[in-house]
Each structure stands twice: as structure tokens, then as C-alpha cells.
Amino acid sequence: MNLYLKTLLILSILLIYQPVFAYDRSVTISDADEEWGMDMDQAGSDVLDSSEVEAGYGEESIVCHGDEIWNNGFDVISSNAIDASESLVKLSIETLICHGDESWNDGLVSVEIDNAGTVINDKTPVLFVPGILGTKIKDQNGNFIWVDLDRMINPLRLDSYSDDFMDPLSFDSNLLPRNNLSLDNVIKSESYLHTTYNYTEGLINEFASQGYAENRDFFTFPYDWRYGVSGKYPDGKTNRDLLMLKIEELSEKSPTGRVDVIAHSLGGLVVKKYIMDMPDPKIGKLVFVGVPNLGSPRSMLALLDGTDLGIFGLNPQEFKKISQNLPVSYDLLPTKGYYTKKGSYLTVTKSVPMGQSQSIGLNYEEANTYFNDSGLNAAGTMSAGNLHSVQYDFFDVRTKGVDAYNIVGCKSDTYRGLIDYQTIGGEHSYYGEDFKTLSGDDTVPFESANSVVASDEKNSILKKPNMVKCRAQMESGKK
């Protein structure tokens, strides 16, 4: 999670926000209870009197906002109530139509819903698709193993140094999980002592200020990031398949039949795969944020030498250990297209007599051979290679009717590559960093993020230090 991510995501609202507009769907409420007797002056703030609703429901009807405030959520509401998702017309997810008798909060009486020519206001749903590490994961006992800052950072805990409590995140060599874990929600923010790590909370709040509500017209997509794009679940499904189901669900509730999407990092690769594979992807506007379309050398660093991904408290060697068989680790390796754009990202420096050394930058095929010789998962390398075809890496989502925007970086110094220092005999000695940096967003080089095509006015770079959105294009390699 990059330090400037909050700013990037908040900027997305400028690209995707649209005013509330009317659409032609109809509601009629009939068979109202003559004895309902609710004094609307005393009704809670989460209940709307029908006289206050533009749609003009019957006099003896009320529209209840079915969020967790007034009755603890739809799960505990009487079966006689009608959830908007079960109605014949398309209402917002957190709307409930019910009778207003004096016992409405305990036993709601059912109503009939028909088409009747009434105009209802709504918004196109917005879906945020997170990147690697963006979804929380629990172990079999319900304890968080991603993310648990107390176990990662607390100096009084014996497991805070090694972080081996995260071992269950590992996959076997067959690219399938070793343990039965469960997903939680997309990370909003995590706090430890006086430090807060904000991922989506700022974005959610920003959309709320524009009239969006979480789980009504703003949604997040939790998924198991360990599988990446190429990985297959035990049932054969992929994250693309799960995203397809989510978009189908939301599009059915959308006035436009489309969903607007904000995709961060790995999430952008999953979204791109969905768009490429679907004859008619149901996405209207799409905002890419720091998406490694051509991979990132930092993933290679994680696999070969370990990395904390810029997350304070994460042990680099623990992440190296759990990443060895994760499909996502290989999906994010630099691709052949990356090598064509930026050249070698792995250098072998061999000692020679008289204290000199000889350096050779490996090409794409040589790097993959090196990975396999180093004990990395050959199946993972092959699956990722099959995913990253030229068509996929440089796919223009606009050809499928998607209105694309792309936030490609902030001209930050970005990790360039790894150096394998070897002995005179050619044995590995230690790894070092190539200190000649690239331009990008600290993690994803500019050329990798910029391979997704968007028109000039929809392709954005953030400037440091003030993070002001600018309209600029970077030349290759220019900071």
C-alpha cells in the first residue's frame, strides 16, 4: 500500500462521481393496513413518510431505510418485510417498503409491488476492487492473520519479529492453499498506537460526502489476493469469475445496467481480465490506480530476497517464505513487455581475479530460467507467462466500450531491479539493489502502469510533494 494511495483514491471521485438522476422504474404499494396508526411525527429518523417521498407512495405507507441502525440489518427483519433486492422493481439495496402499523419494527406486514409509472432517483453503483494485501484474511479460529498489526509490531510479543503467525497464508507447490482460511472485508484503516494506516476509509468518506452510501451505491470487492489473476481455486474458479458475479449482481440494481469501477494495483489486472474475456462487460467508467500491467521488479525482490512492501512491521523474510507458491507473486513479475520497454531488471555480477567483477543483465527468457534454477515455482512462472500475452498486457479496454481513466504515478523514485553478486565460481553470494531508480509510484514503474490505454485528458500523474493532480505526460525514464 503506497503512502500516497489515499490521495490517489480520493481523486478517483472526481472522475467517477455523477449527480443523482431519475430513471423510469415504478413502485405502487397497495393493501395498506387501515389500523396502522403510526404517528409519523414520532417516527425515527431512518423512516421516510410517504408524503416526503417524490415517488408518491400511498398515504398509509412508509419507506424504511433498512440499514443496520434501525433494526440491526436485514438479517433479523421479519420474513413479511420486502427487501428491495427481492422486489420486482429495482430499488437501492438498503431500502425496505413496509406497512406502518404500531408493531412495524417487530412484525412487518407484507405489501404488493407493481409497476405504476412512478419515477425513482438512483445512482450507478461504484465498486472498488483492491490490490494485493487489500483484503483481510482469518485463520480457522477466526483470528486475523492478515492484517494483525499488534502481532506484527508489538515488541512485547515473541511472534512480532518473525511474523510466522502468517505461515498459514502459504500455498503448496501445486499452487493451492495449505490451510482452510476465510476472507473478511476490504481493509478500511488499521491503527496501532498512534499510527493509522488508511486504505479505503478516506475514499468511502469522500463518496459519502457526495451522497453515496456504503453497500447501497458504493461497494467493495473482497477477494483472496493470494490467487492473483492466474490462480485457480479448488473448485476451478478464478478471481475474474468472482468479479464477474459481483458486477452482474450490481448491474441488475443499476439504473444504467452498468457499474463504475475503481481498481487499485492487482485489482486492475483482475478487472482487465474480466473486460477482455466478456463479450459485453457491464462497466461504465473505470479508474485504474497504479496498476502493474507489465509487472513490477519489486515482486521479483519479494520472491528472491524478501521485502516488507513498505509496510512497517512486516518481516521481509516472512513474506518471502509465504510468497513462494502464491500465484499472485508470479502474476506481478516483470513481463516480456516490461523487458521490451525498460530492459533488464535482474543483473548477475560475478567476481573475477584481481578483485574485479563482470556484470551481465539478463533478458526475459534468461530471467525466467534463473527463477526456476533458484527454486521458484515453475508452474507459477508458466501460468503467469500464459496470462501476460501481448494482447493482455497492452489491452485497450475502450474497445469494449469502457470509459477508462488511468492514474499512473507521482514521479517517485521506484525500485529498478536486483543484482545477484556471485563468487568467482559462479555461486550466489548475496543480493543487492540496483540503486538506479525508475520513475513511478514507489512500487509500479510508470511504463507498467501506463500500458493501459486512456485518452490524454484521462491519463493523470500526481506531482510530489503536494500531490496536486496535474495534466502531464512523462517521457520514458524521466523523473
Q: What is the pTM of this model?
A: 0.77
Average pLDDT over residues 308-319: 86
Query: What amino acid is encoded at 247 in this protein?
Result: I
**Domain-terminating residue out of 96, 122, 148:** 122
Residues 135 and 222: beta-carbon distance below 8 Å:
yes
Cα distance from N-terminal residue to C-terminal residue, the chain: 21
Residue 7 within a domain? no
361 and 400, same domain (yes or no): yes
69 and 110, same domain (yes or no): yes
pLDDT of residue 35: 28
pLDDT in tens, 391-403: 999 999 999 999 9
Beta-strand runs (E) in 18-92: 21-23, 28-30, 47-49, 61-65, 82-83
Residue 3 within a domain? no
Average pLDDT over residues 127-146: 96
Domain count, the chain: 2
The residues, any chain, with a CB within 8 Å of residue 230's CB and separated by 6 or more, are 238, 327, 330, 331, 383, 384, 386, 387
Query: What amino acid is encoded at 263 in this protein?
Result: A
251 and 359, same domain (yes or no): yes
Residue 376 three-state SS: coil
Residues 153 and 313: beta-carbon distance below 8 Å:
yes
Give me 71's grid cell. 433494526
* Residue 178 pLDDT exceeds 90: yes
117 and 189, same domain (yes or no): no
**What is the percent of the chain where pLDDT is above 90?**
56
50 and 191, same domain (yes or no): no
Residue 75 three-state SS: helix
pLDDT in tens, 340-374: 999 999 999 999 887 778 999 999 999 999 999 99
Q: What burial letters (b/e) apply to 176-213, b meaning 16+ CB within 10 Å?
A: ebeeebeeeebbbebeeeeeebbbbbbbbebbeeeebb
34 and 93, same domain (yes or no): yes
pLDDT of residue 210: 92
- Select from 230, 378, 381 the least CA-distant residue to 299: 381
pLDDT of residue 429: 96
Average pLDDT over residues 71-78: 36
27 and 147, same domain (yes or no): no
Neighbour tally for 34: CB within 10 Å: 7
For residues 43 and 82, give the distance between their C-alpha atoms in angstroms, rounded to a whole number: 19
391 and 420, same domain (yes or no): yes
Residue 16 within a domain? no
Q: Which residue range(s) make up the domain with 114?
A: 21-122
Residue 12 within a domain? no
Residue 243 three-state SS: helix
Please state the length of the chain. Answer: 479
Q: What burial letters (b/e) apply to 3-32, b meaning 16+ CB within 10 Å?
A: ebbbbbbebbbebbbeeeeeeebebbbeeb
* Residue 314 pLDDT exceeds 90: no
- The vertex-41 CA angle with 36 and 45, nearest 5°, equals 100
Residues 427 and 374: beta-carbon distance below 8 Å:
no
Give me 401's grid cell. 466500450
Give me the sign of the Cα torsion angle 291, 416, 5, 309.
positive
**Domain-terminating residue out of 60, 95, 122:** 122
Residue 372 within a domain? yes
pLDDT in tens, 422-432: 999 899 999 99
Pair type for strands 21-23 and 120-122: antiparallel
Burial class (CB in 10 A: 0-12, 13-18, 19+), 379: middle
The residues, any chain, with a CB within 8 Å of residue 292's CB and separated by 6 or more, are 265, 266, 268, 269, 299, 332, 443, 444, 448, 449
For residues 417 and 216, give the distance between their C-alpha atoms in angstroms, rounded to a whole number: 43
197 and 293, same domain (yes or no): yes
Residue 300 within a domain? yes
User: Which residues on adjacent β-strands are paired with residue 380?
Assistant: none
Model confidence at 41, in pLDDT bands (50, 70, 90)? Answer: very low
- Select from 198, 46, 216, 192 the least CA-distant residue to 123: 216
Residues 352 and 296: beta-carbon distance below 8 Å:
no
pLDDT in tens, 50-67: 333 333 333 333 444 333
Model confidence at 145, in pLDDT bands (50, 70, 90)? Answer: very high
* Residue 259 pLDDT exceeds 80: yes
pLDDT of residue 311: 79
The more confident residue out of 73 and 448 is: 448
Residue 477 within a domain? no
147 and 187, same domain (yes or no): yes
Residues 330 and 380: beta-carbon distance below 8 Å:
yes
| Residue that has been written with the C-alpha cell 517464505 in this structure | 321
104 and 139, same domain (yes or no): no
**Domain-terminating residue out of 67, 87, 122:** 122
Give me 297's grid cell. 521488479
**What is the percent of the chain where pLDDT is above 70?**
69
Q: How many CA atoms lie within 13 A of 84 on its CB side?
A: 23
Give me 303's grid cell. 520472491
Q: Phi and psi (nearest 5°) for 4?
A: -95, 10
Residue 1 within a domain? no
Angstrom distances, CA of residue 204 to CA of 24, 26, 437, 459: 28, 29, 33, 23
381 and 439, same domain (yes or no): yes
